[in-house]
Chains A and B, each alone.
Chain A
Amino acid sequence: MKTFCHCNNHYGLENSSIILFMQNIQRNCGYLPEDELKRLADNTGTPLMDIYSIATFYKSFKLEPQGEHTITVCTGTACHLRGSGEVFEEMAAVLGVGSGGGTSEDGKYTLEKVNCLGACALAPLIVIDGHYHGNVTPGKAREMIEEHYK
C-alpha cells in the first residue's frame, strides 16, 4: 500500500522513529543494553547523548536487566484509593527491594509501578507476567509471592 505522507517516516503500520527502534530493542532484550544503544547511535547517526536523554525521559525504558518475572502494581488513582500503596509496600518488603521498586537480589522478580492499566473497576490491580489480578490486598499479595517462590 502506498502512503501519502511526504515524510515517509513510517512503514506498514507503525510510525518509525528512534523511539520505535528503542522499543523494539527492549522487546527483544528485555532492557536497553549499552552496546545496542551505541549501535543504534552509529546506525542512525543520532548522538548517543540524545538516545540516553530519550531513554531516561520515558518511563517504560529500562537501562538495567530485569528479573525473570515482572510484577507491576497499578498506582493509579482508583487503585490508590483502594489501597494499592499498601500492596506495593508489602510486595517491596517481601521481595526485599526498595520503596521505589526494583529487582530482587536473586534476580527472580522485578517490582514496578504503573499509572493506571485501565481496569480501574477491579482496583487495586496487579499484573504478574502479563496476567491481571484484581481486588488485591496486602495479605493476598504476600500469599501470591510466597506461592510463587515455593
Chain B
Amino acid sequence: MNALGLLRDVKELKRLKSELKKEKREKFVSVCGDTGCSVWDSKKVDEVFRRVLEEKGLSEEIPVKSTGCLGFCECGPVVIVFPEEIFYQKVNEEDVEEIVEETVVKGKVVERLLYHDPREDKKIVKASDIPFYKKQVRNLLGDNWLIDPGSIVDYFSREGYAAAAKAFTEMSPEEVINEIKEARLRGRGGAGFPTGVKWEECFTKNVENKYIICNADEGDPGAFMDRSILEGNPHSVLEGMMIGGYATGSNHGIVYIREEYPTALEKVKNAILKARETGMLGENILNSGFDFDITVSVGAGAFVCGETSALVNSIEGKVGEPRQKPPHLAEKGLYGKPTVVNNVETLANVPRIIRWGAEEFARAGSKNSGGTKIFSLVGKIRNTGLVEVPLGLPLREIIYEIGGGIKGGGHLKAVQTGGPSGGCLPGYMLDIPTDFEELDAAGSMMGSGGMIVMDYGTCMVEFSRYFLSFLSGESCGKCFSCREGIYRMLEIVEEVAAGTATLSHLDLLEELGEMVKNTTMCGLGKTSANPVLSTLKFFKGEYLAHIMENRCPAGVCRALVTVFINQELCSGCGVCRKKCPEEAITGEKKEPHYIEKALCSKCGICIESCPEEAITRA
C-alpha cells in the first residue's frame, strides 16, 4: 500500500476500501503492545518477531502487528497467529524463532505455549475457544487483535470511517440522534445518561460555536477500559467524536486525557495526525460540507476533573473545581459555549450504531440499555483482564465463567463495582444483572466499569478506609460537607481499624454518610459514602468484630493482628531471619524460629520469603 493521499469524497473512500480488500493479508502475527503486556517485555518479543521474519524474507508477506490490549492480561505477553487464530501465552524472546519456524512457516502448533484450561485440564489452540473469550461479546475489543492502532489503513480495512461517511452524506443530524436514541446507548462514564438525549439538548441550541469533549480522564483507580480502547483502536473514538460533532452541530472536538497514560496520548495524537492527512478531519470532510477538527488536552492528576464541569474548567486552564449546575454544559460549557462531554467507550460505540443500525446494535444488551460494556476484572480473580459482555449479564457469569473464579481457589466474599463511587455486594447477590438500574437498586452502581473481586483475605473495614482516604485526598474542597465530611468518616473508620472505636461510632458513620450524600454539589461527594454505607449494610459483622472483639477476621488491620511462625512447619532455614528488616526474628539453625513481638513491624517480608509457608498473619 502506498502512502495514503487525501480522500476527497465518499467515492474515493470506497475505492480505497475495495483496493484494501484486494490486498488484504490473511496471514499476520499480532503481538500485544499494550502497557500491560509491555511490563512483561512484549516490546522485545515484537522486535524479535520482526527481525526473524525479515531474516527469513517473510516480512512482506506476513506483517507483525503491535496491537492494543488483547484482554487476557493474566497470560501476557500474548501473541496470536492468524488466520488460524492460534493463541500463545507468556511468550518470551526465545520462543519467537520456534513460533515462526513451526507455526508461521509449517502451520503447526507449539503445544508448550498454548493456554491450558485448568477446568477441563486440556490445552486450547484457538483464541475464541478459550473460556475467557468464549462468553464475551467483543464488539469493541474484538478489533483490537486485528488492527495496528498506529495504522489508519488497518482501520479503513475494518470498515473504518464508513459510519462517518454515512452520517455526513446520507443522514441529517436529527436522524443520527434518533438512531442513537433507538440504540438505547447510555453513557459508559458512570452516570449512564442516554447519549441521544444529551446530544439532542446540545443540537437544539442555536449557537455558533459548540464543543464535543471526549472524557479520557479514567479516574477510577483499578480500571483501564478507556486506556485500552485509546491504545488499541484510537480511530474508533475519533470517528465517534466526529459523528457526535455532526449530530450536535459542533466543529471542534477535544480529547481530555490523563497524563498517567503516556502511551494512549501518543497513539491518540498520531491518530489525529493521520486522520487530518487523509481528510477525515478538516474542512469539508468527504465533500459533505461538514468541518471538524480534534485537539487534545492533558490532565494534571486530579480525580475530580473527570466530573464534566471540573473537566471543562481544567481545559480552560483553571483549577478543576466543579461548577454549580444549572446552567448545564449543554447551555454554557467550555468557554461559555454549548458543550457535550462523553466517555471514551460511549463514543467508541457510536460508529457501530450508525454502521449496523440501532436494532442490530441493541440486540446485545438489556431492556433499558443497548450494547456491551467493558469491565476491568481485577483483584483476587483468576483471569484478570478486560472483559466485554452484553449489558445485563449476571455478575456470577462474569466472575466464574469468564473470570475463572477466585484466584488460589478461595471463596468470594464481595465484589465491588463503580470504583470509589460504587458499593460492595456480597457473594449471595451475584445473580444481579449488570445493568444501571439493578446495580443502583442493590446499593452499588455501574460506574465506569471497574470490577474488583475480593476473597476472605480482604478486610471490608480496611477496604472502605482505602476509598475514604482516596476520596478525602481528591475532594476539591469547595463544599464544606464533602471536604470535612469525608475526612471525618475516614477518621472514624481508622478508629474502627485500630480497634479503638465504640458502637456509637457506627451510628455516627451512617449519619455522616447520609449527610454528605445529601449536601454536596458534585458526584464525587454525592457518592463518596457508598463504599462505607454498602459495607456497613452487608458486612456489619466485620465492623463489629473490630469493635467488640478487637479482631480483624481477614487478618489485615495491622493494629489487631500478629505475625507468628508455626513452630511445627518451620524448618529453621533462617531465610526469614536474614530478610527481616527489623531484626525481630531469632532462632538457631535447623531449629524453629520465633518472632519478637515488640520488634515486629508486621511488614510481611518474612511471610513472602518463607519457603515452608510457615508464617502467617492473623
- A positions within 8 Å CB-CB of B: 1-7, 9-10, 13-15, 17-20, 22-23, 53-54, 57-61, 75-83, 86, 89-90, 93-94, 114-123, 125, 132-134, 137-139, 142
Contact = CB atoms under 8 A, between A and B. Distances in A.
A138 B604 contact: yes
Nearest to B261: A118
A121 B378 contact: yes
B450 A13 contact: no
B300 A89 contact: no
B404 to A, nearest CB: 13
A133 B35 CA distance: 11
Contact of B293 (A1, A23, A80): A1
B71 to A, nearest CB: 10
Contacts of A117: 35, 260
B90 to A, nearest CB: 13
A128 to B, nearest CB: 12
Given A13-B272, A15-B297, A77-B419, A90 B605 contact: yes
Contacts of A3: 252, 293, 295
A137 B606 CA distance: 11
Interface in B39-58: 39-40
B100 to A, nearest CB: 27
A139 B36 contact: no
A119 B295 contact: no
The 8 tightest CB contacts between A and B, nearest first, are: A17-B317, A121-B73, A77-B222, A76-B221, A58-B300, A60-B301, A118-B224, A59-B301
Contact of B223 (A4, A7, A20, A116): A116
The SS class assigned to the B binding surface is: mixed
A5 B458 contact: no
B618 interface: no
Interface string B275-286: 010000011000
Contacts of A57: 302, 319-320, 476
Interface string B256-284: 00011100000001001100100000110
Interface of B: 35-36, 38-40, 73-74, 76, 208-209, 218-224, 227-228, 251-252, 254, 259-261, 269, 272-273, 276, 282-283, 291-293, 295-303, 314-320, 335, 376, 378-380, 384-385, 416, 419, 450, 452, 454, 458, 463, 466-467, 470, 476, 579, 581, 603-605, 608-609
B134 to A, nearest CB: 19
Contacts, number: 179
B276 A114 contact: no
Given A77-B452, A139-B605, A139-B609, A58 B320 contact: yes
A80 B465 CA distance: 11
Contacts of A15: 254, 295-297, 315
10 contacts: A4-B252, A14-B298, A76-B222, A77-B379, A81-B380, A90-B603, A114-B260, A116-B224, A118-B35, A122-B39
A2 B603 contact: no
Given A58-B300, A132-B38, A142-B581, A17 B316 contact: yes
B302 A78 contact: no
Contact of B39 (A61, A76, A132): A132
A1 B282 contact: yes
Contacts of B272: 13
A15 B316 CA distance: 9
Given A57-B319, A60-B259, A118-B260, A93 B581 contact: yes
Nearest to B226: A118
A54 B321 CA distance: 11
Nearest to B407: A82
A6 B208 contact: yes
B6 to A, nearest CB: 12
Contacts of A18: 317
A73 to B, nearest CB: 13
A41 B278 CA distance: 40
A125 B251 CA distance: 40
Nearest to B604: A86
Contact of B603 (A19, A58, A86, A114): A86
A22 B300 CA distance: 10
Nearest to A3: B293
Among B301, B302, B419, the one with the most A-chain Cβ atoms within 10 Å of its Cβ is B301
Nearest to B453: A81
A94 B579 CA distance: 13
Given A4-B291, A13-B295, A139-B579, A120 B222 contact: yes
A19 B251 CA distance: 24
Contacts of B581: 90, 93-94, 142
